[in-house]
Each structure stands twice: as structure tokens, then as C-alpha cells.
């Protein structure tokens, strides 16, 4: 902890796993290069990260990155870091020219971007490498693609399109190009990987909170981030669905993908889009609201067969708004738990109000079991207060104004055009009641969460007509206290 600047930490400190001392895995800075056609130590099937800037191309072998994880160098006059986390099979190439927050916000004179050098901290978050910058020793996350602590906390990294190809293909495609040499100054066996056994099954080295269950944990794919910070779009595309060519529509423009025997290639992408090859488990932990494209048609993970977090997963901490306008952290509510966290669509929904009214006669029974009822809705605080009064239930209600809680608990969805038209025919305009002004809603859901913030029981269903049975909810609460 003393080795890094943890000021402004944006990730849960208790979920950082420190396995090794700083620099126990030594990053490389400006390592020697050699002509690819003379590197007879590399077999043709060796996996290569391709870094292209202008007319210059550099190949970075994963056989090097297995032992070093970060290569700081310059390509085409641009300072870059080629990064690889073997635990996630995640490969990302960043620009080391980083804008300060003031640069990004455009206020005041814009100084030159800071050129950083990254090292390997020896710590993991979501089983993904945490880098540190040698200037301030703030922590940076590879898959979050930005600083998570220190004076630059919250600062994003500019990402270059990812490209992984076999070495034989690299030599044929990029005649005269160079690769990072194995003459690194370190004694390592670059002919083998220390992670062969890890890749043999789906087991993880450290626990990860909030892993999705839409597919096996170590399913390879590409993570895509598009849009702005305020309206970020996260997508995960599985490698086996990309095939020879797949065009993915994003809010920032199309991303064109292909695959090779070595991994993912981003052929085209808007400058504002960030991409990383990675295993599904890590991407889903960082971006639980991601779309999942598994059939080339862009079908979202929501609705998947089973919405919602699963029992045993850690409940996320999200800030919600009370009916008096104050903000409350869900983590503070968990500490007073156990709680029953219930999502409902709004007071305009008769099934929702009927369900809330049914709880009016069970609130004391729930309290006697040791829990309190907390309701979350996307509607305005004044409407939420009105609904609470009309249903007569003694529960606490909060407004999930930007749908952050619904997304984090994996019950969020966007109303499709056909359903929207039906609602409007009945005079229901969700945009008028939602704080966000959008056609976004939560699926009916109830989560029993203990004092430690662990989900102990779940009801969630995409069918708007279904609701949790109060008897089952109360029994779930009682089972915690036995």
C-alpha cells in the first residue's frame, strides 16, 4: 500500500489482490528489436501483438509478454505500451501520451500531454493486471483502460486497435518489420509459457466479484467501449462468432473484426472506440451491462435466459437518490442489512403497485425476520414518493436515476419499438416518469443481501407479470439468521 498513491481510488480496495512485489514481473522499456525474418527462435504459430503507427510496424511476441506483461516503447514516433495479462488473455495497446483532466475538459491553456512509463504492480483487480506509472505511482487498470488511483485517477488511456496474428502471418504480411527481441537483459525461458496449466480449465487464480454467467469464464472474445463516459456502450463479441469478418454497429460507428489462429484483429474502428482482446469473465466483471454478440446479430445479453446477479455474488455499490433528493450509497444500506432490494418499473405499472401493496401487510413480518424492504425505481423521486403513499407499504424507496443500479444488478433493458408503440397507445409514456427521460426499465427483481454485501437469494424474471413470492423472500431472510 505504501508503494502506490491510492488517493482517489475508484475501485474497491478490498477487491485488489496483491500477489507479488512491485516489479517482480519486470516491464520492458525500449527493449532491443530484431528483424522478424531473422528471429528463428520463434515458431510460425507464436502469437504476436501487432502495433501499427503510421508506416512503422512492430511485433510484440506474447512469449515475451508472458514474462513481462508490459512493453514501453515508441512506434512511428508515438510512445506506446503493449500490454498483456495472461490471466485474462487480455491484450491492449495504449498510447503513453496521456492528457490530464484539465486537458480532457478543455479548460485553460492545454499543456503538452504527459508521457508515462508503466510498470507491473504485482496486484490484480478483477483478476486483471494493475499497472502503475513510474512518475506518480498511481495505479492504472488494463481493462478499465485508465487510472484508478493517484493524481490522474479517472483519466482514460487512448487505445490503439488490437491485432493478434501468428508469427508466420506477421512475416508474410509485414515484410521488413521488426519484433521485440528475446535479448531483454533478463534470464527467462521464452520458449515456454508459465501459464499452460491455467489455460487448461475455467478455474481462476483469485476470486472475482460479479462475474457473468452467460458463457464459460475463459471464453475468448473482444471487448469494445464506445460512446461517451456519460453514455458508455460496452460490447463483448465472442471469438468463435466473429469468423472471417464481422461488422459490429456501435454508437460511435462500425467496428470491423476478424479472427486468426492467434486471436482477435480489429480491422477498422473509429478513433473514439477502445478495444481489447480478453476472456469473458474479466470483461463481464468490469462491464456487467455489456451487450453480448454471439451470433453476429448483436443480440444483447439482456434479455438472457436468467437476468440478475446470482446467489454468492457480491452486490455492487451504486449511488441512488432518496425521495428528498439526497444521494445514498447502497453499500451503506447493506451494512444495516440484511435487506430485500426490490426493483419495480414505476407507479404507472399496475402489477408493480399491486405487488408493493401486497407487502403492506408483510412489512412487520419481514422486520421480525430481521430485514428491511428497499425499493428501487427509475421514476422521479416525487413520483416514487407518491407511489409509496398510495401503496401503503412501509418500505424505503430510492430513484435509480441513470439506471446504474439496474445495470449493475443485470436487470436493465431497453424497451423495444413494438412494445413502446403499445405503451403509447395506452397513454403510457415512460420517458415522462423516468428521470433519465429514456425508454429504459428494470426487470421485476428482488435480491436478499446480507450485511457483508453478498447476494443470498434472488428472484428475477424478464416477464413483467411475474413477481417474487413474499413467503419465499421472508424464508430466505430467516435462513440467513439461522
pLDDT digits (tens), the chain, 482 positions: 568 999 999 999 999 999 999 999 999 999 999 999 999 999 999 999 999 999 999 999 999 999 999 999 999 999 999 999 999 999 999 999 998 765 545 555 556 789 999 999 999 999 999 999 999 999 999 999 999 999 999 999 999 999 999 999 999 999 999 999 999 999 999 999 999 889 888 889 998 988 988 889 999 999 999 987 667 899 999 998 887 788 998 888 899 999 999 999 999 999 999 999 999 999 999 999 898 987 333 333 333 446 888 887 788 888 899 999 999 999 899 988 899 999 999 999 999 999 999 998 899 999 999 999 999 999 999 999 999 999 987 899 999 998 989 988 889 988 888 888 888 877 888 899 999 999 999 999 999 999 888 888 999 998 888 999 999 999 999 988 65
Residues 282 and 325 in one domain: no
237 and 343, same domain (yes or no)? no
Query: Does residue 157 sit in helix, strand or coil?
Result: coil
With beta carbons less than 8 A apart as the criterion, state whether 220 and 238 touch: yes
Is residue 301 a part of any domain in this protein? no
Q: Let me know whether 51 and 177 are in one domain.
A: yes
Whether 300 is in a domain gets the answer no
C-alpha cell at 368: 421480525
Q: Are residues 367 and 442 in the same domain?
A: yes
281 and 341 share one domain: no
What pLDDT, on a 0 to 100 scale, did the predictor assign at position 481?
66
Task: Give me Rg for the CA atoms of the chain.
Answer: 24
Q: Is residue 50 part of a domain?
A: yes
Cα(369)–Cα(246) distance, integer angstroms: 53
Q: Say how far apart CA 50 and CA 35 lie, in whole Å.
A: 14
Asked whether residue 120 falls in the same domain as residue 156, the answer is yes
- Could you tell me if residue 1 is inside a domain? no
* Together in a domain, 338 and 207: no
Residues 259 and 332 in one domain: no
β-pairing, 178-180 vs 264-268, is unpaired
8-state DSSP, 417: H
How many whole angstroms separate alpha carbon 164 and alpha carbon 62? 9
Instruction: Note whether 100 and 202 are same-domain residues.
Output: yes
Give the CATH number, domain containing residue 361.
3.40.30.10
Residue 186 counted as domain residue: yes
Please tell me the distance from the alpha carbon of residue 249 to that of residue 47, in angstroms, as a whole number.
28
Can you read off the three cell numbers belonging to residue 477?
431472510
Same-domain pairing of 280 and 385: no
| Number of domains forming the structure of the chain | 2
4 within a domain of the structure (yes/no): no
In terms of domains, do 272 and 332 share one? no
pLDDT value, residue 313? 78
Phi, psi (5° rounding) for residue 355?
-65, -45
CA dist 286 and 176 (Å) reads 39
Of 276, 293, 310, which marks where a domain is finished?
Answer: 293
Q: Which domain holds residue 458?
A: 319-481
Q: Which of 257, 276, 293 is the last residue of a domain?
A: 293
Identify whether 86 is part of a domain.
yes
Per-residue cell: 33: 528489436
On whether both 83 and 227 belong to a single domain, the answer is: yes
The last residue of one of the domains, among 293, 328, 349, is: 293
Residue 10 in contact with residue 153, Cβ under 8 Å? Answer: yes
Residue 298, classified by CB atoms within 10 Å of its CB into exposed (0-12), middle (13-18) or buried (19+), is: middle
CB-based burial label for 386 (10 Å; 0-12, 13-18, 19+): middle
Residue 7 within a domain: no
Amino acid at each position: 500500500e505504501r508503494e502506490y498513491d491510492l488517493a482517489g481510488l475508484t475501485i474497491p480496495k478490498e477487491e485488489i489482490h496483491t500477489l507479488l512485489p512491485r516489479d517482480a514481473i519486470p516491464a520492458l522499456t525500449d527493449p532491443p528489436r530484431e528483424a522478424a525474418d531473422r528471429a528463428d527462435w520463434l515458431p510460425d504459430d507464436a502469437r504476436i501483438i501487432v502495433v501499427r503507427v503510421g508506416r512503422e510496424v512492430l511485433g510484440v511476441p506474447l512469449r515475451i509478454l508472458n514474462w513481462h506483461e508490459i512493453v514501453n516503447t515508441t512506434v512511428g514516433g508515438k510512445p506506446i505500451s503493449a500490454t498483456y495479462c495472461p490471466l485474462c488473455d487480455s491484450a491492449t495497446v495504449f498510447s503513453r501520451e496521456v492528457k490530464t483532466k484539465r486537458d480532457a475538459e478543455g479548460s485553460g491553456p492545454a499543456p503538452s500531454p504527459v508521457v508515462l512509463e508503466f510498470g507491473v504492480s504485482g496486484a490484480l483487480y478483477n483478476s486483471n493486471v494493475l499497472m502503475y506509472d513510474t512518475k506518480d505511482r498511481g495505479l492504472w487498470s488494463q481493462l478499465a483502460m485508465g487510472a484508478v488511483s493517484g493524481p490522474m485517477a479517472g483519466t482514460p488511456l487512448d487505445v490503439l486497435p488490437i491485432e493478434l496474428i501468428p508469427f508466420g502471418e506477421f512475416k508474410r504480411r509485414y515484410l521488413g518489420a521488426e519484433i521485440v527481441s528475446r535479448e531483454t537483459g533478463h534470464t527467462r525461458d521464452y520458449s515456454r509459457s508459465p501459464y499452460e496449466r491455467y489455460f487448461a480449465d475455467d478455474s481462476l487464480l483469485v476470486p472475482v466479484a460479479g462475474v457473468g454467467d452467460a458463457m464459460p469464464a475463459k471464453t475468448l472474445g473482444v471487448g469494445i467501449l464506445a460512446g461517451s463516459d456519460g453514455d458508455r456502450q460496452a460490447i463483448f463479441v465472442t471469438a468463435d462468432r466473429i469468423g472471417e469478418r464481422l461488422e459490429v454497429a456501435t454508437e460511435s460507428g462500425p467496428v470491423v473484426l476478424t479472427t486468426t489462429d492467434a486471436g482477435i484483429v480489429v480491422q477498422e474502428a473509429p478513433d473514439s472506440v477502445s478495444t481489447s482482446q480478453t476472456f469473458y469473465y474479466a470483461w463481464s466483471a468490469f462491464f456487467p451491462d455489456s451487450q453480448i454478440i454471439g451470433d453476429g446479430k448483436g443480440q444483447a445479453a439482456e434479455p438472457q435466459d436468467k437476468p440478475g446477479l446470482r446467489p454468492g455474488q457480491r452486490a455492487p455499490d451504486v449511488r441512488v437518490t432518496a425521495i428528498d433528493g439526497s444521494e445514498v450509497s447502497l453499500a451503506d444500506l447493506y451494512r444495516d442489512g440484511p435487506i430485500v432490494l426490490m426493483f419495480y418499473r414505476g407507479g404507472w405499472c399496475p402489477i408493480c403497485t399491486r405487488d408493493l401493496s401486497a407487502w403492506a401487510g408483510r412489512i412487520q413480518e419481514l422486520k421480525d425476520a430481521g430485514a428491511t424492504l428497499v425499493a428501487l425505481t427509475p421514476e422521479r423521486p416525487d413520483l416514487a414518493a407518491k407511489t409509496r403513499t398510495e401503496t401503503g407499504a412501509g418500505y424505503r424507496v430510492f430513484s435509480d436515476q441513470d439506471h446504474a443500479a439496474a445495470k449493475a444488478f443485470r436487470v436493465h433493458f431497453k424497451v423495444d419499438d413494438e412494445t413502446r408503440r403499445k405503451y403509447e397507445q395506452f397513454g403510457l409514456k415512460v420517458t415522462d416518469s423516468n428521470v433519465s427521460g429514456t425508454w429504459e426499465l428494470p426487470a421485476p427483481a428482488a435480491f436478499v443481501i446480507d450485511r457483508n454485501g453478498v447476494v443470498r437469494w434472488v428472484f428475477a424474471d424478464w416477464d413483467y407479470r411475474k413477481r417474487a413470492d413474499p413467503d419465499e423472500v421472508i424464508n430466505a431472510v430467516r435462513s440467513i439468521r439461522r
